[in-house]
Homo-oligomer: A and B are copies of this chain.
């Protein structure tokens, strides 16, 4: 466990100066082929690797991106993270992971922390911070890419899920299958997209001349809790179709239906959102509004990289629309 070698040690061993080593490491041209070979040999021989800390101390670049998200257990985020990580990695960038558990205080403190680490950029997934405070912070943390949060500000870009469109399409699908009493389970109030999804739901009903019954609109207060109860409520109100805010909630809905001896899709059609792997392995497989999650991650990462490089223009706002993916949880009435 001998002390780690520094660039100076290598310089001494190779019989050249510190700076020459640095030049070789950074592949600068102004060094003769002979010494280059020699230096590389010594580096190889001793397994020298430069301290990235010291380097970024002077270059002001860390090649690191802070990634902040509510919950890595949620496959929605996990798949996005996968796309982000893969893309950044290809560009030799690294990921600092922070999960906030939806806690505002932690969110703020993490943003601060990341800032003190001098990260090159940040990715904030569905931040809880309110608009005013977020806007205030952006100058300090830019460039930053926001997921599901549209904030027009210098140094910030957004990648948005077309929640309204998704809610609309899901509802329309049920209507076209002959359903007229359609319930919607709205996600936790924190998630901004819940509102959009509800808008889409209403729009679809209106367009098809169906009335909006407040009894058929129910809201989950804390993530994935009380869904059985809400489902019972909807079934008592004679729904034949239910649209939900994500795939897991759809799975709970189907469980609740089964418990009440209602068959899915025989008696009730259920439609999910996100299209995570769960939707494929469930029984019945889930009809869902599928999002290209991995690709979303790629988009997010690529946008941020463009912003960091600052050489080419980037999309300030990218909208991603979910696609209806038919499974066996919906059926013509």
Q: Does A82 sit within 8 A of B, measured CB to CB?
A: yes
- C-alpha spacing A251/B251, complex, angstroms: 13
- C-alpha spacing A129/B116, complex, angstroms: 34
Whether B283 lies near A254 (C-beta < 8 A) is: yes
Min CB distance, A199 to chain B, in Å? Answer: 27
Min CB distance, A86 to chain B, in Å? Answer: 8
Q: Does A34 sit within 8 A of B, measured CB to CB?
A: no
- C-alpha spacing A112/B92, complex, angstroms: 13
Known contacts A53-B62, A255-B285; can you find 10 more A-B pairs with CB under 8 A?
A53-B57, A53-B117, A67-B97, A72-B78, A73-B277, A94-B113, A95-B98, A97-B97, A248-B277, A283-B284
Whether B97 lies near A96 (C-beta < 8 A) is: yes
Q: Which chain B residue has the least Cβ–Cβ distance from A251? A: B281
Q: Does A50 sit within 8 A of B, measured CB to CB?
A: yes
Whether A53 lies near B282 (C-beta < 8 A) is: no
Q: Is the interface of A mostly helix, strand, loop or mixed?
A: helix
| Contact of A50 with B278 at beta-carbon distance under 8 Å, contacts A96-B97, A283-B258 already known | no
Whether A116 lies near B281 (C-beta < 8 A) is: no
- C-alpha spacing A282/B285, complex, angstroms: 10
Question: What mask results when residues 88 to 103 of chain A are scored 1 for a CB within 8 Å of chain B, else 0?
Answer: 0100001111110100
- C-alpha spacing A278/B49, complex, angstroms: 43
- C-alpha spacing A49/B116, complex, angstroms: 7
